Amino acid sequence: MNSLGQMNEHPAEDASHSETAAVISREVWLLMSDLVLDFGRRREVSEALGISFGRARAVRRLARQPMSMGELAAALGIDPPNATVVVDDLQSLGLVRRRPHPTDRRAKVVEATRRGKDMARRADEILGAPPEALSALSTDDLEALRRILTSVSVDRD
């Protein structure tokens, strides 16, 4: 079917278009991954904060909103026992604290301390600074990129 919902008279063209779109979308995804993951910001955050990037990620999440241990584990994509180790480490550094869950006596809520929130802000400053090449794009290109990325974004929280 075409964009008007009508049957396309050339199914081979549809298949070829789908294959081309799949190849291009994979290539674009790899380029975006390289840009974000290999840009060196993780190392910069770790060095600036004096903790691993994984720990910094947890502090950033908790600075946005307190979470139960299970919620934190799910948000970070780690197993709950690993989340306990992460929180223990962060608590020993004075970056987070546990408090009783307001409705579940068996659970704890983890929240960032003032120091943890300050570290999260510092991490956000580092991570929020765009690469020079991105900043050099024209306003039109940046608007187009924002529009495209917004249209394909998935809810991360």
- Give the mean pLDDT of 82-103: 95
Quick: pLDDT tens for 115-153.
999 999 999 999 988 888 889 999 999 999 999 989 987
Identify the pLDDT of residue 157: 45
CATH topology of domain 42-127: Arc Repressor Mutant, subunit A (1.10.10)
CA distance 33 to 39: 9
DSSP assignment of 15-39 equals HHHHHHHHHHHHHHHHHHHHHHHTS
- For the chain, the structural domain boundaries read 11-39+131-152, 42-127
Identify the pLDDT of residue 68: 93
Query: What does the DSSP 8-state code read for residue 98?
Result: E
| pLDDT confidence tier of residue 90, bands split at 50, 70 and 90 | very high
Quick: pLDDT tens for 58-83.
999 999 999 999 999 999 999 999 99
Instruction: Name the residue with higher pLDDT: 14 or 71.
Output: 71
Instruction: Name the residue with higher pLDDT: 51 or 41.
Output: 51
Contact of 120 with 60, CB cutoff 8 Å:
yes
Identify the pLDDT of residue 41: 85
Contact of 119 with 56, CB cutoff 8 Å:
yes
Quick: pLDDT tens for 23-41.
999 999 898 888 877 668 8
pTM of the model: 0.72
Identify the pLDDT of residue 3: 52
